[in-house]
Structure 1
Amino acid sequence: MTPGRIPVPPAWAHLPFFQTHWPEIDRRLADETDWLPGPDRLFAAYDNLSPQDMRVIILGQDPYPTPGHANGLAFSVAADIALPRSLRNIFAEMQDDLGKAPPNGDLSHWSAQGVFLANTALSVRPGAAGAHARWGWERLARQAIDEAQKHGPLAFLLWGKHAQKAVSGLPRAEDLVIATAHPSPLSARRGFFGSRPFSRINAWLQDRGRPPIIWVP
C-alpha cells in the first residue's frame, strides 16, 4: 500500500498527531504485508464521531489479532462473529445491570451515540497482539479525548490498568470515572463483575439533562 492513501477522519485531522506521528505510522503500515483491521476500518472509532459528539470513553488496547474479528471499534466484532471472551463478560455484566444485552457483538450502535470505542493502538499484525503498540498510536487517543473535553464533561469507563494508564491526567473533577478490572476471564471477577457501569453512566448523563445511552437496541 502506498503511504498517504488512507483517508484521515476530517473531524480530527487538525490534531497534532496527524502532522507529527501519522506520516511515519502510515509508512510503516505500507511496509507491512498484512495487518488488521485494514485500511477501510483503521479509523472506524473516529470516522463517524466528532469531538462535540463524544460522551463516553471506552478504551481497548489494540485490535483483535484474529483475522475476521477486528472491525476498528474496541471490543466490537461483526454481527456474525462469535463473541470473544471479554465481550462475553461485558454482555454478562450488562445483563445483570440492565436485564438485557445486545443480540450480537456489533457495537456500532454505541459509537453512533457518542461512545468512543477506541483502541490505544489502531493496528496489529495477525496473530501477534501488541505488534504495533509501540508505534506512537497512543498519542492520538489522548489528543482526541483532550479535544472532546472542550465540549463538556465525559464519562470514562476504564477497564483494566492499560486503559487507566492511557488516560492518566486527563479526567477532570466534572467527569465521571468508573475504573475497574478488565473484563478478561483472567480478571473479570476482581471487580469488573458487579460494577454496573452501564446504569451508572446513564444515571450520570440524565442527571445532567443529557439523553442516556441506548446500550441494547
Structure 2
Amino acid sequence: MQYVNLVEQILCCRKMQLSYDDDTLQESKMTTPLTWHDVLAEEKQQLYFVNTLKTVAEERQSGITIYPPQKDVFNAFRYTELSDVKVVILGQDPYHGPGQAHGLAFSVLPGIATPPSLLNMYKELEGTIPGFQRPAHGYLESWARQGVLLLNTVLTVRAGQAHSHASLGWETFTDKVISLINQHREGVVFLLWGSHAQKKGAIIDRQRHCVLKAPHPSPLSAHRGFFGSNHFVQANQWLAERGETPIDWMPTLPAESE
C-alpha cells in the first residue's frame, strides 16, 4: 500500500513538473523577442521568393553585374533586428553605380561620394537638428544599429539600369516585411518620402504607429516639401514620448563609434 502511495506521489509530482515546464515554455515564447527568422521563414519558402532568388542568381552567373553584392542583399535585416525596429525609412531600389549599394536604403559605403538624395537628407538634418554637422561620408550603418530599418522596396538591381528588378518579386516580399512590422511592433515611426513609399505604406495602422509623409529627398522634389518637413525631429519626439531612446542622426563610421 505504501508502494502504491509512493508511486501516486511520484506521478503527481511528475504531472506538476510537466505542467510547470509547459507554462515556462509558453512564458518563454511570450517574452523572447521575435526575430526576422521567426516571422519570415515561411515567406522565404514561397514559390515567388524562391524564383526571385533563382533569377538573381542566374543573372549573376551569366555575367550580369548585380548590385548590391550577394553578401549584402539582406543587410537591412542583419543590422536591424525586428525587435529593435524604431524607425522605418523606405527607399525604392538600390543604387546602380559601382560600389554604391550595400543593402541599406540611401546609404553608400565609406569612400563613395554621397548621393544627391542623401545630401538633401543631411541638409534637412543641418537645418533641424541642433549641432548636426554634415559628415564627409554617406555610410548609415550607425542609424541601422540604433533601430532605423533602411529598407529598399526592391533589394537588387542590374548595374546602370534603375528599376531593372522591380518586377522580380521583391515588392511582394517587402510588402510582407512592412505588414509584419505593422503587426508585431508598436509605436514605430514610418518615414514615407515620395508617392512610391506612401503607396507602400498604405497598410500601416495609424492608430498604433506614427506615419510621416513628405516628397522624396531627390533634387527633383526635395524643394516641394521635404525641406522643412522636420521629420527627423518629429521621429525623435515620438520616440522620447514613448520612453524610447531617440536616434542620434549624426552618422558615424565604425571606428568613430568605438
Decide whether the 8 Å contact of 1:15 with 1:143 is kept in 2: no
Equivalent position of 2:11 in the other structure: none
Query: Shift in Å at residue 89 of structure 1?
Result: 0.4
Q: Percent of counterpart pairs with the same letter?
A: 41
CA distance in 2, matches of 1:85, 1:15: 38
The 5-angstrom pairing of residues 65-104 of structure 1 reads 65-99=96-130, 100-103=132-135, 104=137
* 1:169 equivalent among 195, 203, 208: 203
Query: Shift in Å at residue 44 of structure 1?
Result: 0.6
Equivalent position of 2:170 in the other structure: 137
In the alignment, does 2:47 pair up with 1:20?
yes
Query: Shift in Å at residue 20 of structure 1?
Result: 3.4
> Could you tell me which amino acid in structure 2 is paired with residue 198 of structure 1?
F
Aligned residues: 209
The 5-angstrom pairing of residues 19-168 of structure 1 reads 19-32=46-59, 33=63, 34-99=65-130, 100-103=132-135, 104-149=137-182, 150-168=184-202
Decide whether the 8 Å contact of 2:79 with 2:141 is kept in 1: no
Structure 2 unpaired stretches of 5+? 1-35, 253-258
> Could you tell me which amino acid in structure 1 is paired with residue 55 of structure 2?
R
Distance change (3 Å), C-alpha of 1:201 and 1:161: same
CA distance in 2, matches of 1:49, 1:72: 12
Higher helix share: 2
TM-score calculated relative to the size of structure 2: 0.77
Secondary structure of the residue that 1:168 maps to in structure 2? Answer: helix
The 5-angstrom pairing of residues 171-190 of structure 1 reads 171-190=205-224
Decide whether the 8 Å contact of 1:17 with 1:139 is kept in 2: no
Distance change (3 Å), C-alpha of 1:126 and 1:11: farther
Query: Shift in Å at residue 21 of structure 1?
Result: 2.3
CA distance in 1, matches of 2:107, 2:188: 21
Equivalent position of 1:6 in the other structure: none
Decide whether the 8 Å contact of 1:65 with 1:125 is kept in 2: yes
Query: Shift in Å at residue 190 of structure 1?
Result: 0.3
CA distance in 2, matches of 1:147, 1:195: 27
Query: Shift in Å at residue 177 of structure 1?
Result: 1.1
- Taking only aligned residues, the RMSD between alpha carbons, in angstroms, comes to 1.6
> Could you tell me which amino acid in structure 1 is paired with residue 71 of structure 2?
D
Query: Shift in Å at residue 12 of structure 1?
Result: 5.1
CA distance in 2, matches of 1:114, 1:213: 8
Equivalent position of 2:31 in the other structure: none
Decide whether the 8 Å contact of 1:146 with 1:170 is kept in 2: yes
TM-score calculated relative to the size of structure 1: 0.91
Q: Which runs of 4+ in 1 moved over 3 A?
A: 9-13
CA distance in 2, matches of 1:168, 1:177: 10
Higher relative contact order (CA 8 A, sep 6+): 1
Deviations 1:59-92 (A, max 9, x none): 1100001111111100000121111111110000
Task: Using the TM superposition, name which of 165-174 and 74-83 deviates more.
Answer: 165-174
CA distance in 1, matches of 2:188, 2:151: 15
